[in-house]
Amino acid sequence: MKPFLVMQTDFGQGIATSTMRGVILSIDPHLRVFDNSHDIRPFNTYEASYALFFTLPFWPPGSIFISVVDPGVGTNRRASVALLANGSYVVTPDNGSLTHMKKVIGIQAIREIDQTRHRLPSTRKVDIFHGRDLFAYCAGKLASGVISFEEVGPSYPLDEIVLLPQLPVQVDGRTISGMLESADRRFGLVCSNIPYTVFEDRGIDHGDRFMVSIRHQGRLVFQETLPFLPSFGHVDKGEALIMVSETQQIQVAINQGNLSLDYDLESGPDWTIDLEAVL
């Protein structure tokens, strides 16, 4: 069975993503192409990296992810295919989008796409749509078996992969600190990089309360004392809480509300979170 292809972009669902799908199916109409998300914030490579972290572990090993959030399209940034430790692949610009893959999943090898061999021949004058002309085309060839991973192009050292900055989780007395990993816009889930195991190791249990402070570049944006509870339904509508996210990290949300939109929250190392235990 040929591997699944999974696409994510900041394009929005529309003609651009349809064109990418068409390029893949023109190589091999039997390939199966799925969508992860096309609603990544424009140019936000950290969000692209987190989206891979959220989804990729739950797809069969050997799946091929195409991630195109590419503010440097048409420049000398590397266009790459990464072989992950679980046997899957990510076809992407090497611009920070592989941060979580390298640090959490593990990358075994990475190759720069040889654009003289693996670029759509009919659009060689175009330098602004590598999602279609390079990444979808190369991924389709790889998935169909037209080329092997070794034939993608030259390998380069793993320590040359572009990584985005991430703040370490810190514990100082009664305060646990980290950064915002994601700020979902549909349900307003605000996820930190603090693993649930930090709570577990400290004996924190449901019902414990914390003063939650979220800052953007040091400026206080949100502050409220919240309970740690299993899920939304344990507080009244419109009330906020702390809970464990789908990725087993600590997150904050409002029951049937939207914390992200209400406070205009985003993610990345400029956004920090402190949880101070209330005794």
Q: pLDDT tens, 20-31?
A: 999 999 999 999
Handedness of CA 253, 258, 263, 267 (dihedral sign): positive
254: pLDDT strictly greater than 90: yes
What is residue 8's predicted lDDT score, i.e. its pLDDT? 98
Find out whether 94 and 80 touch, Cβ atoms under 8 Å. yes
Nearest to 109 by CA among 159, 163, 56: 159
Q: Which residues contact 262 (CB under 8 A, 6 or more apart)?
A: 188, 254
Mean pLDDT of 162-181: 97
1: pLDDT strictly greater than 90: no
CA distance 136 to 69: 13
101: pLDDT strictly greater than 90: yes
The owner of tokens 């941060």 is 99
Handedness of CA 121, 70, 110, 90 (dihedral sign): negative
Yes or no: is domain 5-160 CATH 3.40.50.10790? yes
- At position 158, the amino acid (one-letter code) is L
Write the class of the CATH domain 170-277: mainly beta
pTM of the model: 0.93
What is residue 279's predicted lDDT score, i.e. its pLDDT? 87
Mean pLDDT of the chain: 97
Question: What are the sequence ranges of the domains in the chain?
Answer: 5-160, 170-277
Predicted confidence (pLDDT) per residue in 257-266, tens digit: 999 999 999 9
Mean pLDDT of 119-128: 95
